[in-house]
Amino acid sequence: MSVVTNAAAASGLSGGGRAAPLRASGLGIIPAFDLRVLMHPASPAVQQGRRTRSYLELDDRTRRLADALAARGIVRGDRIAVLAENCLEYIEIQLAAARLGVTVACQNWRLSTTELCHCIGLAAPKLLIVTKRYEQRAPLVAPDVAVLVVGEAYEAWIAAAQPLPGNGLADPEDGIVILYTSGTTGLPKGAVISHRAMVSRCLVNNANGALALDGTQLAWAPLFHMIGTDMVLGTLIGGGKVIVTDGFTAAEVVEIVGRERLGWLNVMPGVVEPIIDEMTRTGIRPVGIRAIGCMADLVPRHQLAEITRLLGAPYANSFGSTETGSPPATRSLIPIGTIPDHLRKEQSRFCDVVLLDEEDRPVAPGQPGAIAVRGPTLFSGYVGDEAATARDFRNGWFHMGDVFVRHADGTLEFVDRRKYLIKSGGENIYPAEIERVLLASDRIVDAAVVRSPHPGWGEVPVVFVVRSDPHLTEADVIALCRAALAGYKTPKAVHFVGTDELPRNATGKIVRHELERRLAAMEVGA
């Protein structure tokens, strides 16, 4: 497996050769899940529509599936791939593979055939499991891989197998899933998440409080992303119930919110406004929610106030990634009904953070620097991409590529991605600086800033705006920026668009390069 793992693995102490104290100090997903089965066998574990499986039922099916996989020559260290919508079987596959020490490469069904071929090729799986919805894509994206279709064939495998005994074959440093990072600057990279990292993420989430995973969790976010898989597996080893939905619809989410007491509810850019509209239309109010949300920086601040008021729960002022989990900064909460005047974040417990300049030297307090992290929640490297792994894991830290400022009180404030800079006349401009000003206006629903080539300045910022006030003009937008920002940061053009015209990836982030292409086409056609 072409990945770099933690210090123990790098020193050769991995797998069966690990020193006894290191082996004894690790914990995998399966022993933690088995304990919940022992303690709460009849409690509901997973539910989708009218289908509910208790912990004992889920355990039996996953043990049988593990036996069926092993009977077909799939062993510890191998990989399988899954191309499926959210469903109960997806969770069964992850647990069954985890019991064997097999890694599941979770495929993003939104990708093109070319992209999926790339992702599946990186994983080199021995088996591809698909649902009927994607059965026709299987030979196109994995022509040389054996295929199992969820349905009659899948159920036959389980029925013919015996429950695999024991509490799992995996080492804590074995991969449990491969999750693919967004491909906004190229083809996706496959991040290997180990059992150690997944258990640690659950512990950190519970220590942080906002994302504590006991109780009931609603899994509408795709299971091919961290926000889906981390929360599902964390909930199951925490003894809670997972309600699975086939993606997001505001009506379904609001209906569930109105009848189930939830722990943390995933709310992110792109779903906030539909939830607000649906709750306003129906009058449905939640039974109870501990906390909601992620990526507060990308949500208009007046919407933060409205969604917290309607759902009756504070908003997690989070910052994390596929590679890190919820650390490095997901402790603070935005109070109910509050329009925050800043979005400073508290560093997560059980991780270490440093801000660095372009030569990897620590920056002074109050100065922007690229964030680097170390801690037990970190992924194990990019599968098949040793160069990217070596680049991002250097000097004992994982370098995220995001720019922050640490204030005198220790809080961290997001500035922007270092990898997306607008360099105008020798000055660096971070899009989030401009977007933050615009999103604070109740006349604006959303905004995205991109760079545009300029003959004099090299690059200048251009903004796409979704307005709530139809009378908002380009001059109004420019005036908002001029009142709060240096002149060179003021957008040189404003384009008004609809909400659905801002391209986002599956985690809700704006795909800036797609907007750049659109802008270039507009300029050619002008």
Over the stretch 181-196, which tens digit does the pLDDT of each residue have? 854 344 688 999 999 9
Q: Is 57 helix (H, G, I), strand (E, B) or coil?
A: helix
pLDDT band with cut points at 50, 70 and 90 for residue 2: very low
Please state the pTM of the whole predicted model.
Answer: 0.82
Average pLDDT over residues 294-305: 88
Contact 453, 517 (CB under 8 A): no
Query: Is the pLDDT score of 143 beyond 50?
Result: yes
147 token code pair: 């295929």
Mean pLDDT estimate for the chain: 90
Query: Is the pLDDT score of 511 beyond 80?
Result: yes
Q: Quick one: angle between helices 226-237 and 29-39, nearest 10?
A: 50
- For 97, 199, 419, the CA distances from 430, given in Å and listed in that order, are 42, 35, 10
If 0-12 CB within 10 Å is exposed, 13-18 middle and 19+ buried, where does residue 189 land?
buried
* Whole-number pLDDT of residue 114: 82
Between CA 345 and CA 347 the distance in angstroms is 6
Q: Per-residue pLDDT tens for 64-86?
A: 999 999 999 999 999 999 999 99
pLDDT band with cut points at 50, 70 and 90 for residue 154: very high
In a domain, 473, yes or no: yes
* Whole-number pLDDT of residue 436: 84
What single-letter amino acid sits at 394?
A: R
In a domain, 86, yes or no: yes
In a domain, 440, yes or no: yes
Range with the lowest mean pLDDT among 58-62, 444-448, 499-503?
A: 499-503
* Whole-number pLDDT of residue 19: 61
Q: Is 63 helix (H, G, I), strand (E, B) or coil?
A: helix
Between CA 296 and CA 283 the distance in angstroms is 25
pLDDT band with cut points at 50, 70 and 90 for residue 13: very low
* Whole-number pLDDT of residue 132: 98
Average pLDDT over residues 437-455: 91
In a domain, 350, yes or no: no
Query: Is the pLDDT score of 363 beyond 90?
Result: yes
Between CA 56 and CA 53 the distance in angstroms is 8
* Whole-number pLDDT of residue 20: 67
Of the candidates 182, 213, 287, the residue with the CA atom closest to the CA atom of residue 32: 213
* Whole-number pLDDT of residue 447: 95
* Whole-number pLDDT of residue 10: 32
Query: Is the pLDDT score of 399 beyond 50?
Result: yes
| 395 Ramachandran zone, left/alpha/beta (phi>0; psi -120 to 50) | left
Q: Which ranges in 103-258 belong to alpha helices (H)?
A: 113-123, 138-141, 152-160, 195-208, 226-237, 250-257
Q: What is the CATH number for 499?
A: 3.30.300.30
Q: Per-residue pLDDT tens for 23-47?
A: 666 778 999 999 999 999 999 999 9
Between CA 45 and CA 43 the distance in angstroms is 6
Between CA 78 and CA 59 the distance in angstroms is 22
Query: Is the pLDDT score of 372 beyond 50?
Result: yes
Q: Per-residue pLDDT tens for 276-292?
A: 999 999 999 999 999 99
* Whole-number pLDDT of residue 82: 98
Query: Is the pLDDT score of 99 beyond 70?
Result: yes
Of the candidates 57, 33, 395, the residue with the CA atom closest to the CA atom of residue 198: 33
* Whole-number pLDDT of residue 185: 44
Of the candidates 517, 519, 452, 440, the residue with the CA atom closest to the CA atom of residue 483: 440
pLDDT band with cut points at 50, 70 and 90 for residue 331: confident
* Whole-number pLDDT of residue 207: 81
In a domain, 77, yes or no: yes
276 token code pair: 């607000």
Q: Does residue 22 or residue 377 have the better pLDDT?
A: 377
Query: Is the pLDDT score of 11 beyond 50?
Result: no
How many domains does the chain fold into? 2
Between CA 294 and CA 188 the distance in angstroms is 22
Average pLDDT over residues 177-181: 93
Range with the lowest mean pLDDT among 30-34, 100-104, 174-178, 291-295?
A: 291-295
* Whole-number pLDDT of residue 418: 67
Of 146, 170, 194, the residue that ends a domain is: 170
Average pLDDT over residues 194-204: 93
Average pLDDT over residues 203-220: 81
* Whole-number pLDDT of residue 421: 75
Q: Which domain holds residue 56?
A: 50-170
Q: Per-residue pLDDT tens for 402-420?
A: 899 999 999 999 887 667 7
In a domain, 83, yes or no: yes
Of the candidates 450, 435, 466, the residue with the CA atom closest to the CA atom of residue 515: 450
In a domain, 157, yes or no: yes
* Whole-number pLDDT of residue 46: 98
Average pLDDT over residues 503-507: 81
In a domain, 398, yes or no: no
Average pLDDT over residues 136-164: 97
The torsion angle over the Cα atoms of residues 272, 276, 278 and 281, rounded to 10 degrees, is -170
Query: Is the pLDDT score of 484 beyond 90?
Result: no
Q: What is the CATH number for 145?
A: 3.40.50.980
Of 117, 148, 170, the residue that ends a domain is: 170
Of 170, 197, 220, the residue that ends a domain is: 170
* Whole-number pLDDT of residue 449: 94
